[in-house]
Structure 1
Amino acid sequence: MRCLISFRCADAMLAGTLDTGDATTGLLIVSGGNEVRHGAHRGMAMLAQRLASRGTPVFRYDRRGIGDSEGDNRGFAHAGDDLRAAAAAFRQAAPHVTRLYAFGNCDAATLLALEGRSAEIERVLLANPWTIEQADDLPPAAAIRAGYAQQLRDPAEWRRLLGGGINIDKVFKGLWKIARTRSQPNTLATKVTTAIAQWGDAATVLLARDDNTARAFADAARSHDFQTLTIDTSSHSFARAADKQALAEIITRWLDA
Protein backbone atom coordinates (compact mmCIF):
# COMPACT_ATOMS: atom_id res chain seq x y z
CA MET A 1 0.00 0.00 0.00
CA ARG A 2 1.24 3.50 -0.82
CA CYS A 3 0.47 6.32 1.62
CA LEU A 4 0.98 10.07 1.26
CA ILE A 5 2.40 11.72 4.37
CA SER A 6 2.92 15.35 5.35
CA PHE A 7 5.51 16.29 7.94
CA ARG A 8 7.09 19.46 9.23
CA CYS A 9 10.62 20.74 8.71
CA ALA A 10 11.18 24.07 10.47
CA ASP A 11 8.35 26.33 9.24
CA ALA A 12 7.53 24.28 6.10
CA MET A 13 5.31 21.27 5.45
CA LEU A 14 7.05 18.57 3.42
CA ALA A 15 5.48 15.86 1.29
CA GLY A 16 6.46 12.24 1.66
CA THR A 17 5.38 8.88 0.28
CA LEU A 18 5.49 5.60 2.20
CA ASP A 19 5.31 2.26 0.41
CA THR A 20 4.43 -0.05 3.27
CA GLY A 21 6.07 -3.37 4.15
CA ASP A 22 6.41 -5.65 7.15
CA ALA A 23 10.21 -5.86 7.28
CA THR A 24 12.02 -4.24 10.19
CA THR A 25 14.65 -2.75 7.86
CA GLY A 26 13.34 0.31 6.06
CA LEU A 27 14.80 2.19 3.09
CA LEU A 28 14.81 5.98 2.88
CA ILE A 29 15.25 7.18 -0.72
CA VAL A 30 16.66 10.69 -1.04
CA SER A 31 16.19 12.49 -4.35
CA GLY A 32 19.18 14.21 -5.96
CA GLY A 33 19.39 17.65 -7.49
CA ASN A 34 16.04 19.36 -7.94
CA GLU A 35 14.36 16.04 -8.68
CA VAL A 36 11.02 15.24 -7.07
CA ARG A 37 10.58 12.09 -5.01
CA HIS A 38 9.19 10.14 -7.99
CA GLY A 39 12.65 10.24 -9.54
CA ALA A 40 13.70 10.49 -13.17
CA HIS A 41 11.10 8.80 -15.37
CA ARG A 42 9.33 7.70 -12.12
CA GLY A 43 12.32 5.47 -11.47
CA MET A 44 12.33 5.87 -7.68
CA ALA A 45 8.56 5.38 -7.43
CA MET A 46 8.82 2.12 -9.38
CA LEU A 47 11.81 1.04 -7.31
CA ALA A 48 9.91 1.71 -4.08
CA GLN A 49 6.93 -0.31 -5.32
CA ARG A 50 9.17 -3.21 -6.27
CA LEU A 51 10.97 -3.26 -2.92
CA ALA A 52 7.72 -2.92 -0.96
CA SER A 53 6.28 -5.92 -2.81
CA ARG A 54 8.97 -8.02 -1.13
CA GLY A 55 8.23 -6.54 2.28
CA THR A 56 10.63 -3.58 2.55
CA PRO A 57 9.00 -0.33 3.70
CA VAL A 58 10.27 2.56 1.57
CA PHE A 59 9.95 6.28 2.29
CA ARG A 60 10.57 9.07 -0.23
CA TYR A 61 10.18 12.82 0.20
CA ASP A 62 10.52 16.19 -1.47
CA ARG A 63 12.91 18.52 0.33
CA ARG A 64 11.90 22.12 0.94
CA GLY A 65 11.07 24.05 -2.21
CA ILE A 66 10.86 20.93 -4.40
CA GLY A 67 7.79 19.18 -5.78
CA ASP A 68 4.89 19.19 -3.32
CA SER A 69 6.87 20.58 -0.38
CA GLU A 70 6.71 24.11 0.95
CA GLY A 71 9.65 26.40 1.67
CA ASP A 72 12.68 27.63 -0.23
CA ASN A 73 14.99 25.36 -2.19
CA ARG A 74 18.48 26.13 -0.89
CA GLY A 75 20.19 23.11 -2.43
CA PHE A 76 21.61 19.92 -1.00
CA ALA A 77 24.16 21.70 1.18
CA HIS A 78 21.31 23.09 3.29
CA ALA A 79 19.09 20.00 3.27
CA GLY A 80 20.33 18.28 6.43
CA ASP A 81 17.27 19.35 8.44
CA ASP A 82 15.01 17.98 5.68
CA LEU A 83 16.81 14.64 5.84
CA ARG A 84 16.50 14.41 9.61
CA ALA A 85 12.82 15.39 9.49
CA ALA A 86 12.13 12.74 6.82
CA ALA A 87 13.90 10.02 8.82
CA ALA A 88 11.84 10.95 11.89
CA ALA A 89 8.62 10.97 9.86
CA PHE A 90 9.49 7.53 8.44
CA ARG A 91 10.02 6.09 11.93
CA GLN A 92 6.77 7.59 13.15
CA ALA A 93 4.78 6.26 10.19
CA ALA A 94 6.41 2.79 10.37
CA PRO A 95 7.22 2.22 14.07
CA HIS A 96 8.14 -1.43 13.44
CA VAL A 97 11.23 -0.28 11.50
CA THR A 98 14.25 -0.81 13.74
CA ARG A 99 17.00 -0.38 11.13
CA LEU A 100 17.02 2.54 8.75
CA TYR A 101 19.06 2.36 5.54
CA ALA A 102 19.23 5.07 2.88
CA PHE A 103 19.91 5.37 -0.85
CA GLY A 104 20.66 8.55 -2.75
CA ASN A 105 22.01 9.54 -6.16
CA CYS A 106 24.25 12.49 -7.05
CA ASP A 107 24.09 15.30 -4.47
CA ALA A 108 21.64 13.21 -2.43
CA ALA A 109 24.47 10.70 -2.02
CA THR A 110 26.72 13.55 -0.91
CA LEU A 111 24.07 14.72 1.56
CA LEU A 112 23.77 11.21 3.00
CA ALA A 113 27.54 10.88 3.32
CA LEU A 114 27.74 14.17 5.22
CA GLU A 115 24.51 14.16 7.24
CA GLY A 116 23.23 10.59 7.34
CA ARG A 117 24.67 9.77 10.76
CA SER A 118 22.86 12.72 12.31
CA ALA A 119 19.58 11.24 11.00
CA GLU A 120 20.46 7.93 12.73
CA ILE A 121 20.78 6.09 9.43
CA GLU A 122 22.73 2.84 9.84
CA ARG A 123 23.86 2.10 6.28
CA VAL A 124 24.02 4.12 3.07
CA LEU A 125 24.21 3.25 -0.62
CA LEU A 126 25.73 6.24 -2.38
CA ALA A 127 25.25 6.44 -6.15
CA ASN A 128 27.46 8.77 -8.18
CA PRO A 129 28.28 11.11 -5.26
CA TRP A 130 28.58 14.76 -6.27
CA THR A 131 32.12 16.10 -5.74
CA ILE A 132 32.34 18.72 -8.49
CA GLU A 133 33.13 22.36 -7.75
CA GLN A 134 32.23 23.82 -11.13
CA ALA A 135 34.14 26.93 -12.23
CA ASP A 136 33.48 26.69 -15.99
CA ASP A 137 31.22 25.03 -18.54
CA LEU A 138 33.62 22.16 -19.26
CA PRO A 139 33.07 18.58 -18.05
CA PRO A 140 34.96 17.41 -14.94
CA ALA A 141 38.69 16.88 -15.47
CA ALA A 142 38.33 13.11 -15.03
CA ALA A 143 35.72 13.02 -17.80
CA ILE A 144 37.96 15.11 -20.10
CA ARG A 145 40.86 12.70 -19.52
CA ALA A 146 38.63 9.70 -20.26
CA GLY A 147 37.35 11.35 -23.43
CA TYR A 148 40.84 12.19 -24.66
CA ALA A 149 42.07 8.66 -23.93
CA GLN A 150 39.22 7.21 -25.98
CA GLN A 151 39.84 9.62 -28.85
CA LEU A 152 43.56 8.82 -28.96
CA ARG A 153 42.68 5.17 -29.57
CA ASP A 154 40.32 6.04 -32.43
CA PRO A 155 41.96 6.43 -35.90
CA ALA A 156 38.96 8.48 -37.04
CA GLU A 157 39.75 11.12 -34.40
CA TRP A 158 43.34 11.39 -35.67
CA ARG A 159 41.98 11.97 -39.18
CA ARG A 160 39.66 14.66 -37.81
CA LEU A 161 42.60 16.32 -36.06
CA LEU A 162 44.79 16.31 -39.19
CA GLY A 163 41.86 17.54 -41.26
CA GLY A 164 41.12 20.46 -38.93
CA GLY A 165 37.86 18.98 -37.70
CA ILE A 166 38.75 19.32 -34.00
CA ASN A 167 38.50 22.58 -32.07
CA ILE A 168 42.11 23.08 -30.92
CA ASP A 169 41.14 25.90 -28.57
CA LYS A 170 38.73 23.59 -26.78
CA VAL A 171 41.43 20.91 -26.56
CA PHE A 172 43.83 23.36 -24.89
CA LYS A 173 41.12 24.48 -22.48
CA GLY A 174 40.55 20.84 -21.54
CA LEU A 175 44.26 20.22 -21.02
CA TRP A 176 44.53 23.37 -18.92
CA LYS A 177 41.63 22.22 -16.74
CA ILE A 178 43.27 18.82 -16.21
CA ALA A 179 46.53 20.49 -15.16
CA ARG A 180 44.77 23.04 -12.94
CA THR A 181 42.68 20.36 -11.23
CA ARG A 182 45.80 18.37 -10.37
CA SER A 183 47.39 21.43 -8.73
CA GLN A 184 44.36 22.80 -6.88
CA PRO A 185 42.65 20.86 -4.08
CA ASN A 186 38.91 20.19 -4.37
CA THR A 187 37.57 20.92 -0.91
CA LEU A 188 34.15 19.38 -1.57
CA ALA A 189 35.71 16.16 -2.87
CA THR A 190 37.97 15.96 0.18
CA LYS A 191 35.04 16.58 2.51
CA VAL A 192 32.87 13.94 0.83
CA THR A 193 35.52 11.21 0.56
CA THR A 194 36.55 11.80 4.18
CA ALA A 195 32.93 11.50 5.29
CA ILE A 196 32.45 8.26 3.35
CA ALA A 197 35.62 6.83 4.86
CA GLN A 198 34.24 7.55 8.33
CA TRP A 199 31.21 5.36 7.56
CA GLY A 200 33.53 2.39 7.11
CA ASP A 201 31.74 -0.81 6.08
CA ALA A 202 28.37 0.91 6.54
CA ALA A 203 28.83 2.80 3.25
CA THR A 204 28.74 1.34 -0.25
CA VAL A 205 29.40 3.41 -3.36
CA LEU A 206 27.56 2.67 -6.62
CA LEU A 207 28.88 4.16 -9.87
CA ALA A 208 27.48 4.41 -13.39
CA ARG A 209 30.59 3.42 -15.32
CA ASP A 210 30.46 6.08 -18.05
CA ASP A 211 28.80 8.91 -16.14
CA ASN A 212 30.84 12.11 -15.75
CA THR A 213 29.82 12.66 -12.13
CA ALA A 214 30.85 9.09 -11.31
CA ARG A 215 34.17 9.61 -13.09
CA ALA A 216 34.83 12.77 -11.09
CA PHE A 217 34.10 10.92 -7.86
CA ALA A 218 36.29 7.95 -8.78
CA ASP A 219 39.13 10.35 -9.52
CA ALA A 220 38.67 12.12 -6.19
CA ALA A 221 38.48 8.81 -4.32
CA ARG A 222 41.45 7.11 -5.97
CA SER A 223 43.44 7.09 -2.70
CA HIS A 224 40.58 5.39 -0.83
CA ASP A 225 39.45 1.78 -0.82
CA PHE A 226 35.68 2.13 -0.68
CA GLN A 227 33.24 -0.74 -1.15
CA THR A 228 32.26 0.03 -4.74
CA LEU A 229 29.76 -1.48 -7.16
CA THR A 230 29.39 -0.53 -10.82
CA ILE A 231 26.55 -0.55 -13.33
CA ASP A 232 27.71 -0.57 -16.96
CA THR A 233 25.83 2.51 -18.15
CA SER A 234 26.29 6.16 -19.05
CA SER A 235 22.91 7.07 -17.55
CA HIS A 236 23.43 9.16 -14.43
CA SER A 237 19.94 8.36 -13.12
CA PHE A 238 19.95 4.69 -14.21
CA ALA A 239 17.04 5.53 -16.50
CA ARG A 240 17.25 2.69 -19.03
CA ALA A 241 15.28 -0.50 -18.48
CA ALA A 242 18.42 -2.58 -17.99
CA ASP A 243 19.78 0.03 -15.57
CA LYS A 244 16.58 -0.02 -13.50
CA GLN A 245 16.76 -3.80 -13.30
CA ALA A 246 20.41 -3.75 -12.27
CA LEU A 247 19.78 -1.04 -9.67
CA ALA A 248 16.85 -2.93 -8.14
CA GLU A 249 18.88 -6.13 -7.94
CA ILE A 250 21.82 -4.35 -6.31
CA ILE A 251 19.63 -2.62 -3.72
CA THR A 252 17.82 -5.88 -2.95
CA ARG A 253 21.10 -7.71 -2.31
CA TRP A 254 22.41 -4.76 -0.31
CA LEU A 255 19.32 -4.71 1.89
CA ASP A 256 19.62 -8.45 2.51
CA ALA A 257 23.35 -8.40 3.26
Structure 2
Amino acid sequence: MTRRHLTFPCEGATLVGTLDREAASHSTGLLIVSGGNELRAGAWSGQAQQAARLAAEGYPVFRYDRRGVGDSEGENLSFRHSGPDIAAALTAFRAAAPHVSRIVAFGNCDAAAALMLNTPALTVDALVLANPWTIDGEEAPDAMPASAIRSRYLTKLANPREVWRLLTGGVNLAKLAKGLRSAASSAPAPVGMVEEMKSGLARFSGTATILLASRDRTAQMFSEVWDATDPRIQRIDSASHSFSDEAAREWLHARLIEVLRP
Protein backbone atom coordinates (compact mmCIF):
# COMPACT_ATOMS: atom_id res chain seq x y z
CA MET A 1 0.00 0.00 0.00
CA THR A 2 1.30 3.45 -0.90
CA ARG A 3 0.37 6.73 0.76
CA ARG A 4 0.73 9.85 -1.37
CA HIS A 5 0.25 13.43 -0.18
CA LEU A 6 -0.81 16.01 -2.76
CA THR A 7 -2.18 19.53 -3.15
CA PHE A 8 -5.11 20.83 -5.17
CA PRO A 9 -6.91 24.16 -5.64
CA CYS A 10 -10.23 25.29 -4.18
CA GLU A 11 -11.48 28.81 -4.90
CA GLY A 12 -8.02 30.38 -4.74
CA ALA A 13 -6.76 28.33 -1.76
CA THR A 14 -4.42 25.35 -1.83
CA LEU A 15 -5.78 22.26 -0.10
CA VAL A 16 -3.83 19.20 1.00
CA GLY A 17 -5.05 15.66 0.54
CA THR A 18 -3.83 12.10 1.01
CA LEU A 19 -4.38 9.16 -1.33
CA ASP A 20 -3.95 5.60 -0.08
CA ARG A 21 -3.95 2.84 -2.69
CA GLU A 22 -2.46 -0.42 -3.87
CA ALA A 23 -0.68 -0.64 -7.22
CA ALA A 24 -3.49 -2.85 -8.48
CA SER A 25 -6.78 -1.68 -7.02
CA HIS A 26 -10.53 -1.69 -7.60
CA SER A 27 -12.27 0.85 -9.79
CA THR A 28 -14.38 1.90 -6.77
CA GLY A 29 -12.83 4.38 -4.35
CA LEU A 30 -13.79 6.08 -1.10
CA LEU A 31 -13.74 9.82 -0.42
CA ILE A 32 -13.57 10.60 3.30
CA VAL A 33 -14.94 14.00 4.32
CA SER A 34 -13.76 15.09 7.78
CA GLY A 35 -16.25 16.37 10.33
CA GLY A 36 -15.94 19.35 12.68
CA ASN A 37 -12.54 21.00 12.46
CA GLU A 38 -10.67 17.71 12.64
CA LEU A 39 -7.73 16.91 10.41
CA ARG A 40 -7.93 14.42 7.58
CA ALA A 41 -6.36 11.80 9.87
CA GLY A 42 -9.55 11.90 11.93
CA ALA A 43 -10.13 11.58 15.65
CA TRP A 44 -7.53 9.23 17.22
CA SER A 45 -6.15 8.84 13.63
CA GLY A 46 -9.22 6.75 12.92
CA GLN A 47 -9.65 7.95 9.34
CA ALA A 48 -5.99 7.35 8.51
CA GLN A 49 -6.24 3.83 9.92
CA GLN A 50 -9.50 3.23 8.09
CA ALA A 51 -7.99 4.46 4.82
CA ALA A 52 -4.92 2.23 5.14
CA ARG A 53 -7.01 -0.85 5.86
CA LEU A 54 -9.40 -0.26 2.96
CA ALA A 55 -6.53 0.51 0.58
CA ALA A 56 -4.81 -2.72 1.58
CA GLU A 57 -8.02 -4.49 0.58
CA GLY A 58 -7.85 -2.85 -2.85
CA TYR A 59 -10.04 0.26 -2.46
CA PRO A 60 -8.33 3.62 -3.10
CA VAL A 61 -9.13 6.16 -0.37
CA PHE A 62 -8.80 9.94 -0.63
CA ARG A 63 -9.05 12.26 2.38
CA TYR A 64 -8.26 15.95 2.73
CA ASP A 65 -8.24 19.01 4.96
CA ARG A 66 -10.88 21.55 3.97
CA ARG A 67 -10.04 25.25 3.73
CA GLY A 68 -8.63 26.71 6.93
CA VAL A 69 -8.13 23.34 8.60
CA GLY A 70 -4.90 21.42 9.12
CA ASP A 71 -2.46 21.77 6.25
CA SER A 72 -4.89 23.56 3.92
CA GLU A 73 -4.92 27.27 3.18
CA GLY A 74 -7.90 29.61 3.22
CA GLU A 75 -10.62 30.59 5.62
CA ASN A 76 -12.53 27.97 7.57
CA LEU A 77 -16.15 28.69 6.68
CA SER A 78 -17.53 25.64 8.54
CA PHE A 79 -19.30 22.59 7.16
CA ARG A 80 -22.19 24.75 5.94
CA HIS A 81 -19.99 26.21 3.21
CA SER A 82 -17.80 23.22 2.43
CA GLY A 83 -19.50 22.17 -0.80
CA PRO A 84 -16.71 23.64 -2.99
CA ASP A 85 -14.09 21.82 -0.88
CA ILE A 86 -15.85 18.48 -1.40
CA ALA A 87 -16.19 19.11 -5.13
CA ALA A 88 -12.51 20.09 -5.41
CA ALA A 89 -11.48 16.96 -3.51
CA LEU A 90 -13.51 14.80 -5.89
CA THR A 91 -11.76 16.39 -8.87
CA ALA A 92 -8.36 15.82 -7.26
CA PHE A 93 -9.25 12.21 -6.41
CA ARG A 94 -10.20 11.45 -10.01
CA ALA A 95 -7.05 13.11 -11.32
CA ALA A 96 -4.80 11.20 -8.92
CA ALA A 97 -6.53 7.85 -9.50
CA PRO A 98 -7.92 8.00 -13.06
CA HIS A 99 -8.87 4.31 -13.05
CA VAL A 100 -11.51 5.00 -10.39
CA SER A 101 -14.90 5.12 -12.08
CA ARG A 102 -17.16 4.82 -9.02
CA ILE A 103 -16.82 6.92 -5.86
CA VAL A 104 -18.44 6.43 -2.47
CA ALA A 105 -18.40 9.45 -0.14
CA PHE A 106 -18.28 8.92 3.62
CA GLY A 107 -18.78 11.51 6.33
CA ASN A 108 -19.39 11.45 10.07
CA CYS A 109 -21.23 14.12 12.10
CA ASP A 110 -21.32 17.49 10.30
CA ALA A 111 -19.39 15.95 7.39
CA ALA A 112 -22.45 13.75 6.85
CA ALA A 113 -24.64 16.85 7.03
CA ALA A 114 -22.38 18.62 4.53
CA LEU A 115 -22.73 15.74 2.08
CA MET A 116 -26.51 15.74 2.44
CA LEU A 117 -26.73 19.51 1.99
CA ASN A 118 -24.53 19.46 -1.12
CA THR A 119 -25.59 16.16 -2.65
CA PRO A 120 -27.30 17.61 -5.75
CA ALA A 121 -24.04 19.28 -6.83
CA LEU A 122 -21.72 16.35 -6.12
CA THR A 123 -20.89 13.63 -8.64
CA VAL A 124 -20.68 10.58 -6.40
CA ASP A 125 -22.34 7.21 -6.75
CA ALA A 126 -23.09 6.37 -3.13
CA LEU A 127 -23.14 7.98 0.30
CA VAL A 128 -22.36 6.58 3.75
CA LEU A 129 -23.64 9.04 6.35
CA ALA A 130 -22.71 8.42 9.97
CA ASN A 131 -24.32 10.13 12.98
CA PRO A 132 -25.43 13.18 10.94
CA TRP A 133 -25.31 16.55 12.72
CA THR A 134 -28.68 18.33 12.78
CA ILE A 135 -28.09 21.64 14.56
CA ASP A 136 -27.38 24.66 12.37
CA GLY A 137 -24.88 27.30 13.43
CA GLU A 138 -27.73 29.76 13.81
CA GLU A 139 -29.80 27.40 15.93
CA ALA A 140 -29.48 26.98 19.70
CA PRO A 141 -26.43 24.82 20.45
CA ASP A 142 -28.08 23.46 23.59
CA ALA A 143 -31.20 22.32 21.75
CA MET A 144 -30.73 18.68 22.69
CA PRO A 145 -33.85 16.57 22.16
CA ALA A 146 -35.69 15.20 25.17
CA SER A 147 -34.79 11.61 24.27
CA ALA A 148 -31.06 12.41 24.38
CA ILE A 149 -31.43 14.20 27.72
CA ARG A 150 -33.37 11.28 29.19
CA SER A 151 -30.70 8.88 27.98
CA ARG A 152 -28.03 11.03 29.62
CA TYR A 153 -29.77 11.11 32.99
CA LEU A 154 -30.59 7.39 32.93
CA THR A 155 -26.91 6.69 32.33
CA LYS A 156 -25.96 8.92 35.27
CA LEU A 157 -28.49 7.31 37.60
CA ALA A 158 -27.05 3.89 36.77
CA ASN A 159 -23.64 5.09 37.95
CA PRO A 160 -23.19 4.70 41.76
CA ARG A 161 -20.71 7.60 41.81
CA GLU A 162 -23.29 9.96 40.28
CA VAL A 163 -25.94 8.83 42.77
CA TRP A 164 -23.47 9.47 45.60
CA ARG A 165 -22.76 12.97 44.24
CA LEU A 166 -26.50 13.67 44.27
CA LEU A 167 -26.94 12.43 47.83
CA THR A 168 -23.92 14.33 49.17
CA GLY A 169 -24.71 17.68 47.56
CA GLY A 170 -22.21 17.42 44.70
CA VAL A 171 -24.87 18.15 42.08
CA ASN A 172 -26.15 21.59 41.08
CA LEU A 173 -29.86 21.17 41.88
CA ALA A 174 -30.95 24.15 39.78
CA LYS A 175 -29.15 22.71 36.76
CA LEU A 176 -30.62 19.28 37.51
CA ALA A 177 -34.15 20.71 37.68
CA LYS A 178 -33.67 22.45 34.34
CA GLY A 179 -32.43 19.21 32.80
CA LEU A 180 -35.39 17.24 34.14
CA ARG A 181 -37.83 19.80 32.73
CA SER A 182 -36.15 19.47 29.34
CA ALA A 183 -36.25 15.68 29.58
CA ALA A 184 -40.00 15.80 30.16
CA SER A 185 -40.54 18.11 27.20
CA SER A 186 -41.90 16.86 23.91
CA ALA A 187 -40.76 19.91 21.95
CA PRO A 188 -39.04 18.93 18.67
CA ALA A 189 -35.45 19.84 17.89
CA PRO A 190 -34.80 22.66 15.40
CA VAL A 191 -35.57 21.43 11.88
CA GLY A 192 -34.49 24.25 9.53
CA MET A 193 -31.30 22.58 8.36
CA VAL A 194 -32.85 19.13 8.66
CA GLU A 195 -35.37 19.99 5.96
CA GLU A 196 -32.50 21.07 3.70
CA MET A 197 -30.74 17.78 4.41
CA LYS A 198 -33.88 15.82 3.57
CA SER A 199 -34.36 17.80 0.37
CA GLY A 200 -30.77 17.29 -0.71
CA LEU A 201 -30.86 13.57 -0.04
CA ALA A 202 -34.21 13.22 -1.85
CA ARG A 203 -32.56 14.56 -5.01
CA PHE A 204 -29.66 12.13 -4.82
CA SER A 205 -29.90 9.46 -7.54
CA GLY A 206 -27.36 7.07 -5.99
CA THR A 207 -27.61 4.83 -2.95
CA ALA A 208 -27.38 6.19 0.59
CA THR A 209 -26.68 4.39 3.85
CA ILE A 210 -27.20 6.04 7.25
CA LEU A 211 -25.17 4.63 10.14
CA LEU A 212 -26.08 5.43 13.74
CA ALA A 213 -24.34 4.65 17.02
CA SER A 214 -27.56 4.35 19.00
CA ARG A 215 -26.18 5.69 22.30
CA ASP A 216 -24.33 8.63 20.75
CA ARG A 217 -26.04 11.96 21.47
CA THR A 218 -25.63 13.25 17.93
CA ALA A 219 -27.24 10.08 16.59
CA GLN A 220 -30.06 10.46 19.12
CA MET A 221 -30.61 14.04 17.99
CA PHE A 222 -30.78 12.84 14.39
CA SER A 223 -33.25 10.09 15.28
CA GLU A 224 -35.50 12.68 16.94
CA VAL A 225 -36.06 14.53 13.65
CA TRP A 226 -35.78 11.72 11.09
CA ASP A 227 -38.20 9.01 9.97
CA ALA A 228 -37.48 6.04 12.22
CA THR A 229 -38.71 3.66 9.49
CA ASP A 230 -36.21 4.90 6.90
CA PRO A 231 -34.83 1.63 5.44
CA ARG A 232 -31.46 3.26 4.82
CA ILE A 233 -30.74 3.41 8.56
CA GLN A 234 -28.50 0.82 10.22
CA ARG A 235 -27.68 0.97 13.93
CA ILE A 236 -25.06 -0.37 16.29
CA ASP A 237 -25.42 -0.40 20.07
CA SER A 238 -22.51 1.93 20.79
CA ALA A 239 -21.94 5.29 22.45
CA SER A 240 -18.86 6.04 20.36
CA HIS A 241 -19.45 8.98 18.06
CA SER A 242 -16.34 8.16 16.02
CA PHE A 243 -16.73 4.36 16.18
CA SER A 244 -13.57 4.11 18.29
CA ASP A 245 -14.16 0.85 20.19
CA GLU A 246 -13.17 -2.38 18.46
CA ALA A 247 -16.71 -3.64 17.85
CA ALA A 248 -17.79 -0.31 16.36
CA ARG A 249 -14.64 -0.10 14.20
CA GLU A 250 -15.27 -3.55 12.77
CA TRP A 251 -18.95 -2.78 12.21
CA LEU A 252 -18.15 0.46 10.37
CA HIS A 253 -15.52 -1.28 8.24
CA ALA A 254 -17.99 -4.00 7.27
CA ARG A 255 -20.64 -1.44 6.32
CA LEU A 256 -18.15 0.47 4.15
CA ILE A 257 -17.07 -2.72 2.40
CA GLU A 258 -20.73 -3.53 1.67
CA VAL A 259 -21.15 -0.22 -0.16
CA LEU A 260 -17.74 -0.27 -1.85
CA ARG A 261 -18.03 -3.82 -3.13
CA PRO A 262 -19.08 -3.77 -6.84
Q: Same fold (TM over 0.5)?
A: yes
2-side partners of 1:157 and 1:36: how far apart? Answer: 34
What residue ranges of structure 2 are gaps of 5+ in the alignment? none
Identity over the aligned pairs, expressed in percent? 47
User: 1:77 — aligned with what?
Assistant: 80
Distance change in 2, residues 1:157/1:18 (3 Å) = closer
Mapped partners of 2:102, 2:55: distance in 1: 15
Residue 207 in structure 1 maps to residue 212 in structure 2: yes
Matched, 1:145 2:147: no
Distance 1:161 1:93 in 2: 58
How big is the alpha-carbon RMSD for the aligned residues of Structure 1 and Structure 2?
2.8
**C-alpha contact 1:140 1:212 (8 A) present in aligned 2:** no
Query: Segments of 4+ in structure 1 off by > 6 A?
Result: 151-165
Aligned partner of 2:121 among 118, 121, 126: 118
CA distance 1:162–1:17, shift in 2 (3 Å)? closer
Q: Deviations over 1:101-120 (max 9, x none)?
A: 11000000001111133120
Is this contact kept in 1: 2:189–2:224, CA < 8 A? no
Q: Which among 229, 240, 245 is matched to residue 245 of structure 2?
A: 240
The aligned length equals: 257
Structure 1 residues 241 and 152: CA distance shift in structure 2, 3 A: closer
> Superposition pairs for residues 17-32 of structure 1, below 5 Å?
17-21=18-22, 22-32=25-35
Tell me what 1:42 maps to: 45
Following superposition of structure 1 onto structure 2, how do residues 40-189 of structure 1 map, counting pairs within 5 Å? 40-133=43-136, 135=140, 137=142, 139-148=144-153, 167-177=172-182, 182=187, 185-189=190-194
Cα pair distance change 1:152/1:15, threshold 3 Å: closer
Gap runs ≥5 in structure 1 = none
TM-score by length of 1: 0.87
* C-alpha distance 108-86 of structure 1, shift in aligned 2 (>3 A): same
Q: 1:159 to 1:8 in 2, by over 3 A?
A: closer
- How far the C-alpha of 1:62 sits from its partner, in A, is 0.3
In structure 2, what is the Cα distance between the partners aligned to 1:157 and 1:72?
42
1:103-146 superposed Cα distances (whole Å, 9 cap, x missing partner): 00000000111113312011100000000245255754331032
Paired AA for residue 145 in structure 1: R
Taking structure 2 as the reference length, the TM-score comes to: 0.86
Task: Flag the 1:207–1:10 CA change in 2: closer, same or farther, 3 A.
Answer: same
The aligned residue for residue 14 of structure 2 is 13
Amino acid paired to 2:82: A
Contact 2:215 2:238 in 1 (8 A): yes
Greater displacement, 145-154 / 126-135: 145-154
